[in-house]
Structure 1
Amino acid sequence: MKDDFVASGRSVSDLKAHLVLTTKYRRKVLTGEMLVRLTEIVSDLCDKWGCKMIEINGEEDHVHLLFQYYPQMELPKFISNLKSISSRRLRSEFSERVNQFYWKAVFWNESYFIASCGGVTVTVLKKYIEKQDSPEEGRRRGI
């Protein structure tokens, strides 16, 4: 899948994040069918938030989501919304399966992992920046 830059106003960005969500108590509740439905739910939510789902996959007790977003996006609000809506829909649509693992209205663990990521490693980017042809004054000051 080709990743496009996000342009708005006077800026162009290419921000990507890797999000990992785990099921409550790491219970092995997710099935293949649930992952397919979760992919649809996440794709719809990304569209509504103006971001782009790049990839999603997971196992029985966790999911990985790679998405592109714009700088003004409030990531904690997006993640909270994503967890809330996906939890509610999965519990509703797969109630027989989910009720085998949870007796309360829960699905996701309260915590999550998120990391920014890009097309190159930090080492490659650092070398690129170091090799910039800075003005003489900048070179003397170590800029």
Structure 2
Amino acid sequence: MTDATEIRHGRYCVFNLHIHLVFVTKYRRGVFTGEVLADLRGIFAAVCEDFSAELVEFDGEDDHVHLLVNYPPRVSVSALVNSLKGVSSRMIRKKNYPSIRKKLWGGALWSPSYFAGSCGGAPISIIRQYIEQQQTPD
């Protein structure tokens, strides 16, 4: 994993985009064990790699997970989230964990909603001040 302040380069851009994602299990059921969370870490890292993104940090509790993802500007956050949730749900259900099978029925592991918060960089007030202080030509 790279340093969170490392600037990445694309063909036509330079970027440092991070997003904090939180996914909650369906019905907020406590179904995750340490083993399931370890599997989720690997699944999320592989999906991020497919998007040329990087899973910087991952952890969770029995009913939700937190991800910190460094992603390129060409990636839509909603497309990334859709893939992360869809692939992880399929893979975890395929492994047939008893804790999940007992508490969740049907085909869904995740609640349809999620939290996404941009993070990193300077606070909004500092950026606003910087922009206001630009020397506009006459």
TM-score normalised by L of structure 1: 0.86
Equivalent residue for 2:68?
Answer: 66
Equivalent residue for 2:27?
Answer: 25
Deviation of 1:95 (Å): 2.8
Deviation of 1:94 (Å): 4.0
Percent identity reads 35
Q: Paired residue for 1:39, among 38, 41, 53? A: 41
**2-side partners of 1:55 and 1:129: how far apart?**
31
Equivalent residue for 1:140?
Answer: none
**2-side partners of 1:45 and 1:136: how far apart?**
46
Contact 1:28 1:60 in 2 (8 A): yes
Equivalent residue for 1:141?
Answer: none
Give unmatched runs, 5+ long, in structure 2.
none
State the AA in 2 paired with 1:28. Answer: G
Q: For each residue in 1:56-106, what CA deviation from the matched residue of structure 2 results, as whole angstroms up to 9, or x when unmatched?
A: 111111111111111111221221111111011111224322111012121
TM-score normalised by L of structure 2: 0.89
**2-side partners of 1:135 and 1:108: how far apart?**
49
Give unmatched runs, 5+ long, in structure 1.
138-143
Q: Describe how 1:1-143 pairs up with structure 2 within 5 A.
A: 1-3=2-4, 4-132=6-134, 134-135=135-136, 137=138
Moved more, 56-65 or 87-96: 87-96
Contact 1:34 1:94 in 2 (8 A): no
Deviation of 1:135 (Å): 4.4
Deviation of 1:128 (Å): 3.4
User: Residue 103 of structure 2: SS of its match in structure 1?
Assistant: coil
Q: How many residues align?
A: 136
Contact 1:16 1:68 in 2 (8 A): yes
**1-side partners of 2:107 and 2:57: how far apart?**
27
User: Residue 31 of structure 2: SS of its match in structure 1?
Assistant: coil
State the AA in 2 paired with 1:110. Answer: P
